A and B are shown apart, each in its own frame.
Chain A
């Protein structure tokens, strides 16, 4: 059985590595330049207020009842988005969003779209098992 000293050494080493890793990530977030408008911030709040993530995905994360919306803005355009938001669908309820909410949610989806591509067909797969966007 390993001694308490040995176990503590391993635990402390792991803990220090984890805290350093966490601190490094917090202070060097992947995206530095953040052009964010008031509308985009409000759009994020609307997204959370109506729990859009329960049915929709962003970068493949979220619910599976509706489609992934990461790049819906560039694929379908703002008019398509707002018409869906205005009346809902056979599956999606009409949330009776105000015009301001629809505009800010569309701005948020535009912001997500500009952050990258989520379509897995665009990924390059390497023989060592890694992928490249």
Chain B
């Protein structure tokens, strides 16, 4: 028997804690937004949809960004076996990000915008975010030191950190009249940057998930294997060139669309590999299922399969004509941001925030219920959106179109399904987030070991290092 750890709430952990808070806030905003689809005009005066949507989107996007940074910063230290280059830079970075997101959410609440879709905040607020990211880059490069003979996840982290900065800057090219004066030019650059930006934070998250998988299975073989690098370069190739699938219907250069179509099809290789390794994954899952971190990694694997399948379909222009501008696109986004990104980040959360003075033992049942509730309700949520999307696609292609409002009325049963499953999804997430945060804060304010439980690997799935 060993006492529980009594490690302080470090700044790299704080990124995950802040991220979890943003997730909790973001999903509640999302629920209000979903309700506005069922009761049109609800809260129209004070919290109309043009405010709720960015409040929801920015909260969850920053959950992903905070979580991704928290994962990289913590695992980087475990990988090098050393502390970060500068704790001060890290604290400044954290403060800048926290103040920026706070200013962004407050400005949205008052109806102050000025940016564009996904970055609706005033462009001036982009500056501190860029500065904070530069500090992250400096700390990452200095902490790594040498990049010789590094495993694939270090390559992925480096790619993610650099490309996020590049694409974030690119997404603000619209401030120059040369880029924004024509809507087609403007949207081409906008979606070029957004497509690659998502790929860049995926690099950070997928890199950390490979690190975590190697850590759980106690092997270091995968991170150095040829297949890992082949998949990494396939992902990088897609990050760089497949963004055109967002704008197949925009009258932009034809070559942008053809390149994107061809490059997107290389993802079939990744899909094929998932199917080929399915049986092996199942036996690994049985072996490690006691670990909550592993459970979320396994759930994300299923969602990678479903989301990738949908993405490949949508990347065929002839199919995209039907799905574009419908809720099938939303289903794809939800699958990717919840099923993949959030589940992977929760896997990091269970691994990193587990290192605390309090045991999670009393919450084991709550975590299990939350886990299944999020997975099942996310699937129902996803299906509701796909059906709503199919109906909207039929409407879009119909020769005798009924008015837009009548079509929206036809979609109402699926919006109700989407809202109800959203309620269960939120409940599931809260059941997971609440104990994770509660234990961290309890240890922060009252840092005394309260309990003891068996040393790692424990049968209850919580490790003590």
Contacts and interface: CB of A to CB of B under 8 A. Distances in A.
A22 B240 CA distance: 9
Question: Which secondary structure characterizes the binding site on chain B?
Answer: helix
Interface string B172-183: 010001011111
B397 A59 contact: no
Interface string B382-419: 00000000001000110100001000000000000000
Contacts of B41: 90-91
Given A14-B240, A54-B49, A48 B249 contact: no
Interface string A95-133: 000000000000000011001111011010110011101
B327 A18 contact: no
B362 interface: no
Nearest to A119: B396
A123 B180 CA distance: 26
Given A112-B183, A115-B251, A130-B317, A30 B188 contact: yes
Interface in A3-20: 4, 7, 10-11, 14, 17-18
B322 interface: yes
A120 B116 contact: no
A2 B404 contact: no
A60 interface: yes
A123 B50 contact: no
Interface residues of A, number: 59
A79 interface: no
Interface stretch (B96-104, B221-229, B439-447): B221-229
B351 interface: no
B253 A120 contact: no
Contact of B116 (A53, A64, A126): A53
A96 to B, nearest CB: 11
A30 B246 CA distance: 16
B364 interface: no
Interface in B184-243: 184-185, 187-189, 191-192, 224-226, 229, 233, 236-237, 240-241
B80 interface: no
Interface stretch (B4-12, B19-27, B255-263, B335-343): B255-263
Interface string B259-270: 001000000000
Interface in B258-295: 258, 261
B136 interface: no
A64 to B, nearest CB: 6
B53 A49 contact: no
Interface string A4-43: 1001001100100110011001101111001010000100
A55 B48 CA distance: 10
Interface in A30-74: 30-31, 34, 36, 41, 44, 48-55, 57-68
Given A50-B50, A54-B54, A129-B317, A1 B324 contact: no
A48 B115 contact: yes
A1 B250 contact: no
Contacts of B32: none
B438 interface: no
Contacts of B396: 120-121
B253 A30 contact: yes
Given A29-B179, A54-B120, A65 B318 contact: no
A109 B285 CA distance: 53
Given A126-B318, A130-B258, A31 B185 contact: yes
A29 B188 contact: yes
A34 to B, nearest CB: 5
Contact of B318 (A7, A18, A118, A130): A130
B451 to A, nearest CB: 44
B55 to A, nearest CB: 10
A18 B399 contact: no
Given A36-B182, A55-B49, A60 B318 contact: no
Greatest chain B CB density within 10 A among A18, A30, A57, A58 is at A30
Contacts of A58: 183, 187
A6 to B, nearest CB: 9
A77 interface: no
Contacts of A54: 49-51, 53-54, 117, 120
Contact of A14 (B189, B236, B246, B253): B236
A63 to B, nearest CB: 6
B318 A131 contact: yes
B450 interface: no
**The 4 residue pairs across chains A and B that have the minimum distance between CB atoms:** A60-B325, A116-B251, A54-B50, A29-B185
20 contacts: A1-B226, A2-B226, A7-B155, A18-B240, A26-B173, A26-B179, A26-B189, A30-B185, A48-B114, A48-B116, A50-B113, A51-B113, A55-B50, A61-B117, A65-B37, A65-B40, A93-B48, A120-B397, A123-B321, A131-B318
